[in-house]
Every structure is written in C-alpha cells, then in structure tokens.
C-alpha cells in the first residue's frame, strides 16, 4: 500500500507582540503598515486565500483607531474567513493571571471578532509560557474544542504532535502542538537549488513528529510582514517536491482536516509546563514584583469589589457602566499579554505597563467611589456624618473594615443602624482643617451644614456586625456622646486571639501556638535572602551563592493591643551583599532594614503580615518561609477556578542535563492566592495578594517559601545555571528599574487549621481576604472641590439593603458577580473549590439558569459541581 502524501498546511501569519524590548508605540506604528499591506495583498490576490492575524482582536482596535475608514475592508475579509482573528483580545498568560481575566479576555476578544464577521474557534496560543490546567473547560464554554499551541509539552510525555488534552474538571479538547515554534517556517529560501533541501529538512522534522499525513507549517515570526509571493512559492513547492502536497491554509480548516485523520490519540492531563524543548520561564511569576502586585491587586479589586458594587448600584436604579468597565479590563488585558505580565521587557516598556495599571486603578477607584456615593446620598438618614459599608459577597459578613476618613476633633462613638456601639481604633491621623473646609462649596446656603472646628485625615479600623449579603449597611459617628470608642495601645508580651498565641523570640523568629490543638510551631516567619544571577525571564542562583537568613539578625519588637487588634511591630536589620561580586566573595556591606507588622483580630483565623523594607542591594531574591510538621510529596494551590495538586520535586531533575532540557525542571510554582500543605488531620496555608509564586523546601519538603521579590540587571543573560545556553530576550538591554531599589511593601497571611483540606474552606477564606469591605463617608462638609460637588438627592433608600443571598447550602466558590453584558439580568459565576467533595450552588428565592462563559449559550442547569467544575448562572 502506497504511503499517502504528506499534506503540508502552510499558514501565513504574524505573531504580534504589542510590546517587548520595544514599546507599544513602536509596535502600533508598524502594525498600521503591516495590516495595510495585508488588506492590499488579500484584496488584490485571490490566490492568497488566508492570513492569520495572531488571534488577537486588540490588533483590530489598535489599527482602526488610526484608520477607521478601513473597517469595511476588514469586515469583508474577516466575514469571508480570509483574515483570521479572535478568540483572544490579547495573547494572555495563563498561570499568574486570574481566571476572570482569562475569561474576560476571551469574552471581549471573541465578541469583537464576531462583530467583524467571524471569531476563530481555535484556542490558538503560539507563545504563552505554559498552559493552565483549566483551559480545556474554558475553551469548551466559549465553543472552542480545538487547541493549537507551542510551549509546555516534552517528548517524555508526548511522542507526537496530536493528542487529547484533558483539563482539571475532565473537559477535553483536540490539541495539536506546533513542535518547533510558530516561527519555524518563517524564513523560506527562494533560490531554486535551496528550496528542496530546505523543505526536506524542515518538513521532514515535522513529519517525524506527526501521527497523520497532515503537518502545520507556520510561515511567519515576530512582527512579520506578509510574504506577498507566498502563493507563488507554494506552487513552486508542489512542482519541486513530488512527495508532498502543499496548500495555503489557516488554523480552523487545518484542524478540521487533521482531527478527521487522527486516531487513537494519547491523553495528556493537567497543566502543560515542561521546558524540555521550549522555554517556559517558570520563575517569570516573580519578575518585577512591583508590577505583579499591581496586577493582582487590581484584578482582585475589579472582580471582588467593583463589579459587585456596580451590580448593587444597578439594582437600585443606576446605569451599569459597561463601556467604562470594558476600558478598565482592556487596559488589564494589554498588561496580561505574556511578555507584559511576565515583566520580560525593557525598562521603558515596563514604564508603559505601570502607566496602564495606574490608569486602570484610577478609573476603577473613581468609578467605585461615584457609585457608592450615589447610593449613600440617597439613603434615608438623619445623620449627615455617616459611613456606608458595602459587602460585595453574596452572604452576610462580619469582621473588620479598614478605611480612610475625615474626622472631627471631638470625641465620638461609632454606632451601627441598631445603635450598637462598634469597637474601633485610629491607626494614624493628620490635621487638615484649613485644606478640607476651604474646599467646601455651599450649593444651597439655606441648608444647615455641620462644619467641624477641626478636621483630621485618619485611618480607622472598625469591627462591624453583620453586613447584608451583596448589599450595604450604615454606621455613623455619634458626636453627642463623650465616650471614646478607641482604646490606646496596651503593652503586652505576646499577641493572641482565640486561634493563636504568637511570641517573638531572641533569634528574631516567631513561635506560634495553635490554640485549638495546643501544638507549638517554632522557626516561623524567617526571611531568606540569596543571589539572583538570572534575568527578566528566569531566576537562577549564582554559581557562588550566599544565603542570608533573618535568624539571629539585629531585631527589636514592640507588642501591644487596642480595641480591635493585637499587633507585634518588629524591626529587623539584615546585612546583605551589595551585588553578585560581593556575594561571591562572601561579603555583606548593605543594610536591608525590614519593618514587619504581625496582627491578630478576634475571630479571624488569619495571621496578618505587613512588611516594609528598603532595598539597596542588586541582583537578589527575598522569600519568607514557614516551617510546618508535614513532610510532603505534594503541594496544593489555587489555580484559575479550582485547586491544583503538584509534586514538590519533579522526577525529570535526574535526567534534565543529560537530555539537554532548555530549562531546569524546578518546582517553583504559580498560584492564584494561596499555597497549602496538609494531611488528613491538619494543614498550613500562606495567602498572598502580592507575588503569586511559591516553593516547598526543606529536607523533608515541609516548609513553605513565599517569594516576595527578586531583582536583576539585564533583560537576557547567557548560560544560567537554571537555563543553559543562549540568552532569552535581548542580552544587551540593561534593566536598572528591575533592581527595584528603594522602599518595597508586601502583605500576606498565614493560617493553621485542623481537619481535612476540604473542611478548611481555603478558597472562601482567600476570597474574603482579597475582598475587603468597602466604605463611603457621607458628610456635608466634604461636598465641594475635594471630591467634586454633588447636588442633594431624594433620600429614599433603606439604611440596609441586600440584592440577593446564597443559602446556607451553597458551598461553591464565587468567582464573579456582575450585570449580564446583553440583558438586565445578573451573572453569578461559581466553581468547585474542593479536592474531593462536590459543591452546591443555591441562591435564596432566585431562579438560576446556567449559561456558558459567553453568557448566551444555554447549558445544562447543574447546581452540584464536581472537582474544578466551573458554571455561570443568569439570575432572574
């Protein structure tokens, strides 16, 4: 039987990095030229049937901003499926970006592409640094059942390019790897004597990897111009190479053909993060920790606070600002692109990244303030000196709220709507009487307005009672009382609550007693500093390293308690090497002072840590470690929409050098918000809103190490211990900003729990940790230039309000609450947060209709979710 001819699918494309070692401004200028050439080529040459515009709909936005007159031309070619774009808005990272960011990226990308006539139904990921385990489920819910990618699979697991990829929840997609990269066929020779040897070598390697007669031959590379004579070249290929058939094609049609031909596919499960043949840059999670912190804080703010409060506001009659929210998300998507969020850019590009975060944060903060204000000013109240507390979660919450306020000088108590006095403390205050009162505007001079004699800008912490689910409640300052609700700090030897007792030791470590069990854990909260000989892509230890520990450092402690919390203020002084040269010589000449606050609050299972430090050293890494008593084979962390279990040491470590891996297979791993070690009786968890990177270390793999930051001086370097060979990126580009000289701040939390993992409800705890109660202060004396003046509104809202509430039987984790994009209904997105248990979705007195992630496709109305299952509901 004759062997079928290989069908070589030549895919013309460009991989368009919106920024990298160059800025977005440069990229956009050249994009305009390139897209114009694509339009002209396809319109003037019917043989040039298809062109792949990198699956990023943001490129359409960028181009049409300057050439709006070409929209019709783009629509004609996209509707005819000749220009392929979508389903992404930008080519996002998948491992340190939040699940909601990934979903919204696909939502906006697919919606924009469809508005032009067609969105490519392919999970096309040519260059992201690894693939998240939940992507098959996410793709399927966007109507995508095929996946085309490059990085993340080694031939240790996969001997061919075609396979079935099975996600954490069991969802499956048909997958094809681009084995040698998206740029593999980007340089085609045109000399008659060069073509056949080139094809035999290049296509021959693809044939050796393929399990069918179909191979994917990408003609393109980074920022590639269209190869205008490609159809003519393909005709020459067919004339010269009699053993193969060459066709110009695009991903959808290619995948349809190869899917029909593929049989007996191997199944790969979970995340794809193997760096044998293609670099995964596995420690990119901690590159530019300052930018990572901004990303994580803003992502959490949008989904955990802003969108739910906007939903509450809409339910009370206000417009939902879809386009403003979309603009905020698009700024985040631009920064979520794999290079941008990776931080593996030039300093000038990272300045652009920072500015987009600033824009997104400023827009979000002011949008939230406006809608909280629109609600607060319509509440029927006697007091004009009140505070409205917003709960963005769908169940009642009690606890602590920390916020900035303007206070009078006189003594006061704080009371809730029932008149009950609330404990509080003033953490700091500054007198600003003239500044604040001079900003006041008398819109209605006939109205009596309370103007304090003195005004202080203050930071308060208040312990509040139940705040209604997905709603608000008020508390107010009782200025008629002489009783002072705040209590001055009282000196104590240790801090404690009903969960812990924490003692500062002479060696500058903490000893934590877990009160429910009586277990005592020593050597907690140790800061470990060591060198980083890596670059913007990879952490790599120096060949001559020196590890500096905070154990035995110079340290002082001040311990006290007030009305709402017990606080340990610790000052540590670590002496560290100035640079890698000093480190190699064993010399430490730079002081790195750390100011650490450890706080406990009544009823709170978390130990809260705040770290301020002054970094004056170069090319190093700082981690904080917590020792447990659990010798581990696996770590557990949250991933987008679920839990993931990972080995603490990879078996490939024994063979990676012999097999010449592109990167050392290390177990420095990503998370969304926490990492956990547990057995059947107890567990330990570190939560973070900063860098999403951890490693399990220690002789028995019993210690959790959370990365706080790492610094480096070059975009790319050669011959790293963890990444041998060539430099990634550009080795001549220095990155002094990435040394992060100056003051740095970090927050994280620690928890010990009894019982099994599922009993600890860690995802719920993380959600609450990252979803602080929001507060708006209503006071007539503030109405003016300080916050923009606003007219009086009819006071018709109740002092407490709840939009809806999940029932006590609801055990699923809540990922998003927002108004639906295309109707006046509300969206509730939930997932199973457990390792083994099922979870239930149940909203009191509401009808739920399950829809896909695109919010329009109806799905089976399942309310009992299995492991890592994700479901979106329309609430009627």
Q: Domain 6-278 is of which CATH architecture?
A: Alpha-Beta Barrel (3.20)
The Cα–Cα gap between 830 and 869 comes to 8
Residue 1, pLDDT > 50, answer: no
- CA distances 527 to 614, 623, 709, Å, are 14, 6, 12
Residue carrying the six token digits 């402690």: 557
> Taking a C-beta distance cutoff of 8 angstroms, is the pair 411, 481 a contact?
yes
Q: What pLDDT sits at residue 381?
A: 83
Residue 798, pLDDT > 80, answer: yes
Collapsing DSSP to helix, strand or coil, 123 comes out as: strand
Model pLDDT for residues 168-204, shown as the tens digit of each residue? 999 999 999 999 999 999 999 999 999 999 999 999 9
Q: If we measure between CA atoms, which residue out of 504, 525, 498, 501 comes closest to residue 512?
A: 501
The Cα–Cα gap between 164 and 4 comes to 24
Residue 635, pLDDT > 50, answer: yes
Q: What pLDDT sits at residue 769?
A: 98
* pLDDT averaged over every residue in the chain: 95
The Cα–Cα gap between 871 and 333 comes to 23
Sheet holding 813-819, edge to edge: 813-819, 826-831, 870-875, 848-851
Q: What pLDDT sits at residue 671?
A: 98
> 481 pLDDT band (50/70/90 cuts)?
low
The Cα–Cα gap between 155 and 520 comes to 46
Residue 445, pLDDT > 90, answer: no
Q: Domain 385-486+773-802 is of which CATH architecture?
A: Sandwich (2.60)
> Taking a C-beta distance cutoff of 8 angstroms, is the pair 843, 802 a contact?
no
- CA distances 206 to 210, 215, 778, Å, are 6, 6, 67
DSSP 797-821: B-SEEES--B-TT--SEEEEEEE-S
Exposed, middle or buried, 382 (CB in 10 Å: 0-12/13-18/19+)? exposed
> Taking a C-beta distance cutoff of 8 angstroms, is the pair 540, 532 a contact?
yes
Q: By mean pLDDT, which of 482-486, 601-605, 775-779 is the weakest?
A: 482-486
> Taking a C-beta distance cutoff of 8 angstroms, is the pair 500, 600 a contact?
yes
> Taking a C-beta distance cutoff of 8 angstroms, is the pair 293, 690 a contact?
yes
Q: What pLDDT sits at residue 488?
A: 55
Please give the residue that has the higher pLDDT: either 411 or 637: 637
Q: What pLDDT sits at residue 491?
A: 67
CA 98 to chain centre: 4
The Cα–Cα gap between 241 and 199 comes to 8
The Cα–Cα gap between 574 and 551 comes to 9
Residue 867, pLDDT > 60, answer: yes
Residue 140, pLDDT > 80, answer: yes
DSSP 135-174: HHHHHHHTT--EEEE-TB--TTT-SSSEEEEE-TTS-EEE
The Cα–Cα gap between 416 and 799 comes to 10
For 813-875, give the CATH class. mainly beta
Residue 484, pLDDT > 50, answer: no
- Ramachandran assignment for 181, one of left (phi > 0), alpha (psi -120 to 50 degrees), beta (any other): left
Torsion angle of the four alpha carbons 251, 252, 258, 261, in this order, in degrees rounded to the nearest 10 = -170
DSSP state of 395: S
- CA distances 599 to 374, 500, 602, 683, Å, are 34, 11, 10, 20
Is 385-486+773-802 in the same CATH topology as 6-278? Answer: no
The answer for residues whose C-beta is within 8 angstroms of residue 473's C-beta and 6 or more apart is 388, 389, 391, 416, 417, 464, 466, 467, 799, 800
Q: Which pair of structure tokens corresponds to residue 469?
A: 């689910």
User: In the chain, pLDDT over 70 holds for what percent of residues?
Assistant: 98
The Cα–Cα gap between 178 and 657 comes to 24
Length of the chain (residues): 876
Is the pTM higher than 0.85?
yes
Model pLDDT for residues 387-431, shown as the tens digit of each residue? 999 999 999 999 999 999 999 887 889 999 999 999 999 999 999
Other CB atoms within a 10 A radius of the CB of residue 366 amount to 12
What are the boundaries of each domain within the chain?
A: 6-278, 287-376, 385-486+773-802, 495-769, 813-875
The answer for residues whose C-beta is within 8 angstroms of residue 138's C-beta and 6 or more apart is 99, 102, 103, 106, 640, 641, 853, 870
- 17, 127, 604, 702: the catalytic one is 127
Model pLDDT for residues 590-617, shown as the tens digit of each residue? 999 999 999 999 999 999 999 999 999 9
The Cα–Cα gap between 526 and 505 comes to 12
> Taking a C-beta distance cutoff of 8 angstroms, is the pair 732, 718 a contact?
no
DSSP lists the bridge partners of residue 793 as: none
Other CB atoms within a 10 A radius of the CB of residue 449 amount to 14
Model pLDDT for residues 654-692, shown as the tens digit of each residue? 999 999 999 999 999 999 999 999 999 999 999 999 999
Other CB atoms within a 10 A radius of the CB of residue 859 amount to 14
- Strand residue runs (E) in 383-422: 385-391, 397-408, 413-416
For 287-376, give the CATH class. mainly alpha
Please say if 127 is a catalytic residue: yes
Other CB atoms within a 10 A radius of the CB of residue 372 amount to 23
370, containing H or E segment: helix 347-376
For 495-769, give the CATH class. mainly beta
> 3 pLDDT band (50/70/90 cuts)?
low
Q: Which pair of structure tokens corresponds to residue 184?
A: 């593999």
């Amino acid at each position: 039987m004759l062997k079928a001819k290989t069908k070589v699918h030549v895919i013309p494309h460009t991989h368009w990095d919106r920024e990298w070692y160059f800025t977005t401004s440069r990229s956009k200028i050249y994009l305009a030229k390139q897209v114009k050439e694509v339009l002209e080529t396809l319109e003037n040459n019917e043989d040039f049937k298809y062109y792949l515009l990198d699956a990023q709909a943001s490129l359409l936005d960028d181009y049409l901003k300057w050439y709006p007159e070409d929209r019709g031309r783009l629509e004609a070619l996209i509707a005819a499926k000749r220009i392929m774009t979508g389903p992404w808005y930008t080519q996002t990272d998948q491992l340190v970006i939040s699940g909601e960011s990934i979903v919204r990226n696909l939502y906006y990308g697919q919606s924009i592409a469809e508005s032009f006539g067609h969105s490519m139904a392919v999970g096309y990921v040519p260059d992201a640094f690894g693939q998240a385990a939940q992507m098959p489920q996410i793709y399927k819910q966007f109507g995508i059942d095929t996946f085309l990618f490059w990085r993340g699979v080694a031939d240790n697991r996969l001997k061919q390019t075609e396979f079935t990829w099975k996600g954490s929840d069991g969802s499956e997609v048909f997958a094809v790897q681009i084995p040698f990269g998206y740029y593999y066929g980007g340089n085609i020779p045109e000399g008659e004597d060069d073509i056949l040897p080139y094809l035999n070598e290049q296509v021959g390697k693809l044939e050796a990897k393929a399990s069918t007669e179909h191979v994917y031959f990408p003609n393109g590379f980074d920022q590639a111009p269209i190869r205008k004579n490609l159809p003519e070249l393909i005709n020459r290929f067919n004339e010269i190479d009699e053993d193969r058939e060459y066709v110009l094609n695009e991903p959808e049609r290619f995948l349809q053909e190869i899917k029909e031909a593929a049989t007996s596919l191997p199944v790969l499960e979970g995340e794809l993060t193997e760096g044998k043949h293609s670099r995964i840059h596995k420690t990119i999670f901690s590159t530019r920790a300052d930018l990572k912190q901004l990303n994580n804080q803003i992502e959490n703010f949008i989904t955990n606070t802003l969108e739910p409060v906007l939903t509450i506001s809409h339910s009370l009659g206000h417009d939902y600002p879809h386009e403003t929210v979309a603009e905020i998300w698009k700024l985040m998507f631009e920064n979520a692109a794999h290079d941008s969020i990776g931080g593996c850019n030039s300093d000038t590009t990272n300045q652009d990244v920072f500015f987009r975060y600033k824009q997104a944060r400023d827009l979000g903060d002011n949008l939230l303030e406006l809608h909280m204000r629109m609600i607060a000013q319509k509440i029927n109240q006697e007091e004009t000196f009140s505070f409205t507390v917003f709960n963005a979660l769908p169940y009642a919450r009690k606890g602590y709220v920390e916020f900035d306020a303007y206070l009078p000088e006189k003594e006061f108590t704080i009371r809730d709507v029932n008149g009950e006095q609330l404990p509080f403390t003033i953490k700091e205050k500054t007198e600003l009487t003239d500044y604040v009162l001079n900003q006041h505007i008398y819109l209605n001079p006939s109205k009596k307005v309370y103007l304090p004699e003195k005004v202080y800008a203050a930071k308060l912490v208040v312990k509040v009672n139940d705040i209604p689910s997905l709603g608000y409640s008020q508390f107010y300052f009782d200025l008629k009382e002489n009783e002072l609700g705040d209590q001055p700090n009282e000196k104590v030897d240790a801090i404690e609550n009903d969960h812990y007792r924490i003692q500062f030791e002479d060696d500058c470590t903490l000893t934590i007693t877990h009160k429910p069990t009586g277990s005592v854990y020593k050597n907690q909260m140790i800061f470990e500093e060591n060198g980083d000989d890596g670059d913007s892509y990879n952490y790599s230890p120096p060949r001559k390293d020196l590890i500096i520990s905070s154990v035995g450092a110079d340290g002082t402690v001040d311990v006290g308690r007030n009305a709402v919390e017990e606080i340990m203020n610790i000052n540590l002084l670590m002496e560290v090497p100035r640079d890698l040269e000093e480190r190699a010589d064993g010399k430490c000449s730079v002081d790195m002072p750390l100011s650490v606050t450890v706080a406990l609050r009544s009823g709170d299972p978390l130990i809260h840590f705040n770290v301020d430090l002054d970094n004056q050293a170069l090319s190093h890494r700082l981690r904080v470690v917590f020792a447990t008593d659990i010798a581990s084979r696996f770590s557990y962390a949250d991933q987008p929409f679920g839990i993931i279990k990972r080995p603490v040491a990879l078996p490939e470590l024994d063979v990676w050098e012999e097999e010449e891996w592109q990167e050392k297979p290390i177990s420095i791993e990503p998370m969304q918000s926490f990492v956990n070690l547990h057995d059947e009786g107890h567990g330990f968890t570190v939560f973070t809103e900063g860098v999403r990177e951890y490693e399990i270390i220690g002789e028995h793999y019993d210690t959790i190490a959370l990365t706080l930051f790492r610094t480096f001086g070059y975009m790319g370097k050669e011959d790293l211990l963890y990444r041998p060979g060539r430099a990634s990126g550009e080795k001549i580009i220095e990155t002094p900003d990435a040394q992060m000289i100056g003051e740095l701040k970090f927050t994280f939390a620690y928890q010990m729990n009894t019982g099994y993992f599922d009993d600890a409800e860690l995802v719920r705890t993380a959600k609450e940790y990252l979803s602080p109660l929001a507060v708006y202060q209503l006071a007539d004396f503030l109405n003016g230039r300080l916050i923009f003046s606003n007219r009086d509104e009819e006071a018709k809202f109740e002092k407490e309000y709840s939009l809806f509430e999940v029932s006590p039987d609801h055990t699923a984790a809540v990922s998003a609450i927002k108004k639906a994009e295309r109707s006046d209904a509300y969206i509730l997105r939930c997932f199973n947060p457990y390792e083994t248990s099922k979870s239930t979705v149940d909203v009191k007195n509401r009808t739920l209709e399950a829809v896909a992630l695109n919010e329009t496709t109806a799905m089976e109305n399942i309310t009992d979710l299995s492991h890592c299952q994700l479901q979106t509901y329309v609430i009627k």
